[in-house]
């Protein structure tokens, strides 16, 4: 559906033509002085040079052609040559009614769906999810939902880290602790036990212990590296341990993601790239792209136009170990083969930007990904504590995601006890979970992804200000009004017509609502969830102002009352759609 600003631009453009200024720009924008007008056009200013006329004269001529347009209630030329526009209430209402009739509220979906593979989450098995993985999950999930809303065909792949050194570290540490396990007996030919030789808790203790040891014990580090290579090569005992690790880790990860309302279509990992690695390396060698340097196989990806040093891609160590570049490149082969995507989108910590620059370049050079497939990297900043340093536990350790979520839950729960609007105990718990999730996700998504931000639980969970709970609060308020309306005999069977505004506050709310498709289109085009947050915040504020100035249910004029009800139903639907894309939902009451 044509955006409102574009519609207005078109009308103003006709007037420029009719007045004989067809060459001048007629671009209409939202007014930067909402106290003076709603929309403005500065085309007369630029047209002045072109037509060698004072801008105000041009503006006057154009305004004369616009004066009897039914779409506008006021059009004026203002020195030195601005054209200020106010819409007619009827036109505003008509536009909203058309948006309302469209199932995506006038957003401009893709006509041909884009086949998109998304890579986000990226947890490492055997290591607990920590807050560093939070942003990838939260931003990735939002972009997935946004892309689906825009009609795209999205496959979300969690891309487990299941093939790297952490596996070798665990295997080697396990060997130290329990050398007699059959997995370490090279002569063993029977079937390995179905039961893992460790619990998830033990596993989560083994990894950090092994990792710490490898930093001080060179011998151990070397053995862990070798164990990784043996595992990658498919040594049976190590493969069996690897399977145990996955079997314990994956359900736990799934549970964690479920708590975040984050989901994936595909649970592949780095290890799934294995079958593609050998042929890929052979091909790169044959093409003369990969060569040996200091005992490793590498590929140059620097370009003449580079302004900074882009180091080569590392494809293989001399002992055959696959590296991070290797698995990401081989995974691209698998993705091209399985999905033939138009776009592959990675949502990863921005500190990995160089890695992806290298991978993308190598993928193009080696012919793994054609030019017609877009490769995108969305790098997010760090979540910091109030001290401005990466978020840690009170003791200074890495904060587990689970702990973080339960901290937020209990803080919201505690606060909820002060309120008596939360319903009974059952509802309260569910409501608090919804509020917590909104606090957490909105707190993250309202920042531009690439920026670092400070995690401030008190601020995120506050019911006032630019927060998730504030947005929910306004949605719940509308729900409450509507249910009272129905209880009082109000009819909600036809709420699809939006009427011209009776008051300024109603008008402002309507104007804000018209930006829904415009801002969503922008958020989609720029992969920018923070724009959606900006939209819902503006909308919640506009509703709040309207609510404070308007007697809705007590209104005696039925026409007015209907216009209010229909409008707030649409506000609620748009807000709910937007927060659903952000990745959370509103409770019934709070
Ligand atoms: N597992 C990685 C990490 O924790 C993130 C994976 C990102 N995705 C990728 N295809 N490299 O840093």
Q: Which atom of ligand 1 is nearest to the CA of 328?
A: 10
Residue 34 confidence (pLDDT): 86
Q: Which atom of ligand 1 is nearest to the CA of 133?
A: 4
Fold of 4-87: Gyrase A; domain 2 (3.30.1360)
Residue 590 confidence (pLDDT): 87
Closest CA to 437 of 589, 578, 262, 260: 260
End-to-end CA distance of the chain: 35
Residue 7 confidence (pLDDT): 98
Residue 533 confidence (pLDDT): 98
Q: What is the pTM of this model?
A: 0.96
Q: Are the CB atoms for 123 and 160 separated by under 8 Å?
A: yes
Bridge partners, residue 390, by sequence: 384
CATH 1.10.730.10 region(s) of the chain?
402-582
Ligand 1 geometric centre to CA of 10 (Å): 47
Q: Is 348 in the pocket of ligand 1 (CB under 6 A)?
A: yes
Ordered per-residue pLDDT tens for the chain, 590 residues: 999 999 999 999 999 999 999 999 999 999 988 888 999 999 999 899 999 999 999 999 999 999 999 999 999 999 999 999 999 999 999 999 999 999 999 999 999 999 999 999 999 998 878 887 999 999 999 999 999 999 999 999 999 999 989 999 999 999 999 999 999 999 999 999 999 999 999 998 999 999 999 999 999 999 999 999 999 999 999 999 999 999 999 999 999 999 999 999 999 999 999 999 999 999 999 999 999 999 899 999 999 999 999 999 999 998 888 999 999 999 999 999 999 999 999 999 999 999 999 999 999 999 999 999 999 999 999 999 988 888 887 787 778 888 889 999 998 988 888 876 666 677 888 999 999 999 999 999 999 999 999 999 899 999 999 999 999 999 999 999 999 999 999 999 999 999 999 999 999 999 999 999 999 999 999 999 999 999 999 999 999 999 999 999 999 999 999 999 999 999 999 999 999 999 999 999 88
Q: Which element (helix H / strand E) includes 575? A: helix 558-582
How many Å apart are CA 176 and CA 20, to the nearest integer?
87
Dihedral in degrees, nearest 10, Cα atoms 410, 411, 412, 413: 40
Provide the pairing of β-strand 453-454 with 28-30: unpaired
Residue 62 confidence (pLDDT): 97
Ligand 1 geometric centre to CA of 161 (Å): 6
CATH 3.30.1360.70 region(s) of the chain?
4-87
How many Å apart are CA 534 and CA 555, to the nearest integer?
31
Ligand 1 geometric centre to CA of 169 (Å): 18
Residue of 117, 127, 131, 161 to mutate, ligand 1, most atoms within 8 A of C-beta: 161
Residue 311 CB partners (closer than 8 Å, separation 6+) = 302, 354, 358
Ligand 1 geometric centre to CA of 434 (Å): 28
CATH 2.40.160.40 fits domain 115-160+279-384:
no
Residue of 324, 352, 378 to mutate, ligand 1, most atoms within 8 A of C-beta: 352
How many Å apart are CA 14 and CA 218, to the nearest integer?
76
Residue 185 confidence (pLDDT): 96
Ligand 1 geometric centre to CA of 122 (Å): 5
Fold of 402-582: Isoleucyl-tRNA Synthetase; Domain 1 (1.10.730)
Q: What are the DSSP calls for 59-84, one per residue?
A: HHHHHHHHTT-TTEEEEEEETTTEEE
Nearest residue (CA) to ligand 1, atom 10: 328
Residue 55 confidence (pLDDT): 96
Helix-strand-coil percent breakdown of the chain, rounded to 5? 55, 10, 35
Ligand 1 geometric centre to CA of 71 (Å): 52
Q: Is 147 in the pocket of ligand 1 (CB under 6 A)?
A: no
Q: Which element (helix H / strand E) includes 304? A: none
Q: Is 161 in the pocket of ligand 1 (CB under 6 A)?
A: yes
Q: Is 237 in the pocket of ligand 1 (CB under 6 A)?
A: no
Q: Quick check: helix, strand or coil at residue 50? A: helix
Q: Is 122 in the pocket of ligand 1 (CB under 6 A)?
A: yes
Residue 128 confidence (pLDDT): 77
CATH 3.40.50.620 region(s) of the chain?
115-160+279-384
Provide the pairing of β-strand 296-299 with 453-454: unpaired
Residue 423 confidence (pLDDT): 64
Ligand 1 geometric centre to CA of 120 (Å): 8
Residue 266 confidence (pLDDT): 97
Q: Is 124 in the pocket of ligand 1 (CB under 6 A)?
A: yes
Residue 130 confidence (pLDDT): 83
Q: Is 361 in the pocket of ligand 1 (CB under 6 A)?
A: no
Q: Are the CB atoms for 347 and 139 separated by under 8 Å?
A: yes
Q: Is 135 in the pocket of ligand 1 (CB under 6 A)?
A: no
Ligand 1 geometric centre to CA of 348 (Å): 7
Q: Quick check: helix, strand or coil at residue 374? A: strand
């Amino acid at each position: 559906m044509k955006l409102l600003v574009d519609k207005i631009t078109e009308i103003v453009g006709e007037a420029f033509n009719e007045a004989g200024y067809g060459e001048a720009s007629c671009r209409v924008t939202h007014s930067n002085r909402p106290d003076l007008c709603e929309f403005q056009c500065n085309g007369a200013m630029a047209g002045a040079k072109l037509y060698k006329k004072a801008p105000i004269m041009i503006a006057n001529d154009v305004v004369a052609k616009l004066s009897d347009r039914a779409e506008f209630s006021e059009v004026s030329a203002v020195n030195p040559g601005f054209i200020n526009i106010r819409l007619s209430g009827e036109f505003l209402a008509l536009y909203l009614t058309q948006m309302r009739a469209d199932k995506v509220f006038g957003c401009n979906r893709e006509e041909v769906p884009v086949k998109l593979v998304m890579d986000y989450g990226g947890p490492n098995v055997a290591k607990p999810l920590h807050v560093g993985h939070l942003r990838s999950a939260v931003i990735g999930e939002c972009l997935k939902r946004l892309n689906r809303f825009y009609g795209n065909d999205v496959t979300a792949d969690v891309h487990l880290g299941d093939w790297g050194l952490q596996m070798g570290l665990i295997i080697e540490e396990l060997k130290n602790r329990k050398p007699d396990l059959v997995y370490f007996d090279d002569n063993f030919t029977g079937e390995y036990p179905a039961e893992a030789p460790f619990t998830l808790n033990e596993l989560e203790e083994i990894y950090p212990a092994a990792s710490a040891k490898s930093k001080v014990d060179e011998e151990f580090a070397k053995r862990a590296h070798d164990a990784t290579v043996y595992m990658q090569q498919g040594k049976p005992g190590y493969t069996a341990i690897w399977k145990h690790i996955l079997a314990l880790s994956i359900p736990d990860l799934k549970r964690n993601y479920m708590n975040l309302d984050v989901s994936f279509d595909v649970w592949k990992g780095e290890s799934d790239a294995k079958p593609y690695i050998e042929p890929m390396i052979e091909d790169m060698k044959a093409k003369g792209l990969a060569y040996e340097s200091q005992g490793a196989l590498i590929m140059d990806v620097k370009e003449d136009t580079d302004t900074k040093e882009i180091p080569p891609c590392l494809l293989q160590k001399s002992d055959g170990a696959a590296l991070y570049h290797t698995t990401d490149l081989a995974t691209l082969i698998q993705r091209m083969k399985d999905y033939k995507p138009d776009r592959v989108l990675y949502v990863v910590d921005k500190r990995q930007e160089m890695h992806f620059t290298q991978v993308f370049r190598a993928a193009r050079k080696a012919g793994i990904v054609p030019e017609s497939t877009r490769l995108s990297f969305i790098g997010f900043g760090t979540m910091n504590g109030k001290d401005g340093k990466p978020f840690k536990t009170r003791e200074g350790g890495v904060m587990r995601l689970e702990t973080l979520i339960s901290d937020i839950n209990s803080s919201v729960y505690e606060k909820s006890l002060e309120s008596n609007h939360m319903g009974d105990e059952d509802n309260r718990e569910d409501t608090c979970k919804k509020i917590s999730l909104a606090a957490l996700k909105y707190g993250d998504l309202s920042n531009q992804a690439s920026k670092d931000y400070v995690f401030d639980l008190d601020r995120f969970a506050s019911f006032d200000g630019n927060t998730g709970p504030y947005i929910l609060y306004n949605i719940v308020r509308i729900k409450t009004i509507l249910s009272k309306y129905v209880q009082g005999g109000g009819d909600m069977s036809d709420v699809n017509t939006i009427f011209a505004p009776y008051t300024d506050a109603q008008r402002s709310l309507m104007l804000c609502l018209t930006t829904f498709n415009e801002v969503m289109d922008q958020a989609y085009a720029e992969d920018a969830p923070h724009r959606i947050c900006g939209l819902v915040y503006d909308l919640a504020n506009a509703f709040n102002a309207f609510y404070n100035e308007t007697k809705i249910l007590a209104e005696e004029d039925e026409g007015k009352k209907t216009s209010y009800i229909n409008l707030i139903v649409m506000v609620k639907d748009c807000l709910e759609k937007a927060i659903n894309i952000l990745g959370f939902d509103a409770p019934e009451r709070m």
